[in-house]
Amino acid sequence: MEATNAYFMTLGASMLLLSWILLLITSWREDYGWGLFTVLLPPLSYLYALTRLDKAGAAVLSAVVGWFMIYLAF
């Protein structure tokens, strides 16, 4: 793997981690059940984020950027 690919992969993974943390904070503030759902099933918790874009829009945007950077790594 080249250095630029590794760089994009690392940045993409860190953006995905950041988006999950943002989603975790947002969902715990919204409701205890959604917060627990976000902790236990992180990929499925983005369905919550898509239904609540007004509150979790930053988490969705950072996840999209993270996946785009991972896509650029390949």
Residue linked to tokens 């930053």? 58
Which pTM was predicted?
0.83
CA distance 40 to 29: 16
CA distance 54 to 22: 13
- Pair 66, 13: CB distance under 8 Å: yes
Q: Tell me what the mean pLDDT of segment 54-66 comes to.
A: 90
Q: What is the pLDDT of residues 7-37, one digit of tens each?
A: 989 999 999 999 999 999 998 998 888 888 8
- Pair 46, 60: CB distance under 8 Å: yes
